[in-house]
Amino acid sequence: MEDNFKHRGLRKQLVELLKQKGIEDEGVLAAIDNVPRHLFFFDTAFLQHAYEDKAFPIGNGQTISQPYTVAFQTELLNLKPRMKVLEIGTGSGYQSAVLAQMGVKIFTIERQHQLYMKAEALLDELKIKARCFYGDGYEGRPSYAPFDRILVTCGAPEIPEGLKGQLKVGGRMVIPVGGVNQVQKMMTLDKISESEYKITEHGDFQFVPMLENTNNAR
Ligand code: SAH
């Protein structure tokens, strides 16, 4: 669990790269600078890749998102401290840790049981506050709704209706939308009123798919 000067140096370089790629939000850049991404790799054999701007396998056929993607999605969320944020797709827990650094309250759902267990244990060990749930992200977390922000970190075939309902009026969802094995369009959905939404596209990205049915995911 060590975070040494070498890791910190590599993170500074990563932050510079993200700036060059267009990330401007100082809070987001500070969060990337502060979260030791190498600890979220689960497998220490690959630590040298932790500060490259690349997605990487974390087991169970899933990936830790590319740092640029994490930064871009976090920037699109336009967070204010203490907001309630629902994340779909905990994966490694890295994005949750970045959100925690931004001072928001995190609720995060993962459908793969092993990943849920690992991420929850790791976040706990790092003393990062995030409420982790094992389940189907399509269902959201009605008992904690409404949320100021919803962040989907897997590619959804379409914007799930159930999640729209769990967003506050004035709130925003950030979600990559597109079919399996296709590129997805990054979208923001702003909830203008209980029945009006404004959807904006923000370019192409590639994510693992947002799957239905929790039963096969152990
Ligand atoms: N935010 C993660 C990215 C993980 S990749 C990180 O920072 O590492 C996306 C994750 O979404 C995968 O772990 C996958 O298992 C999960 N996922 C896919 N469909 C889901 C669903 N319906 N509900 C919850 N999680 C889902």
For 71-90, the pLDDT digits (tens) are 999 999 999 999 999 999 99
For ligand 1, atom 14: residue with the closest CA: 89
56 close to ligand 1 (CB < 6 Angstrom): no
pTM of the model: 0.96
214 close to ligand 1 (CB < 6 Angstrom): no
- Give residue 209 CA to ligand 1 midpoint distance, Å: 8
Q: Could you tell me if 185 and 203 are in contact, meaning their C-beta atoms sit under 8 angstroms apart? A: yes
For ligand 1, atom 13: residue with the closest CA: 91
Domains of the chain with bracketed CATH: 5-205 (3.40.50.150)
On the 0-12 / 13-18 / 19+ scale of CB atoms within 10 A, 83 is buried
The per-residue pLDDT for 215 is 53
- Give residue 174 CA to ligand 1 midpoint distance, Å: 14
User: Active-site residues: which are they?
Assistant: 65
For 94-143, the pLDDT digits (tens) are 999 999 999 999 999 999 999 999 999 999 999 999 999 999 999 999 99
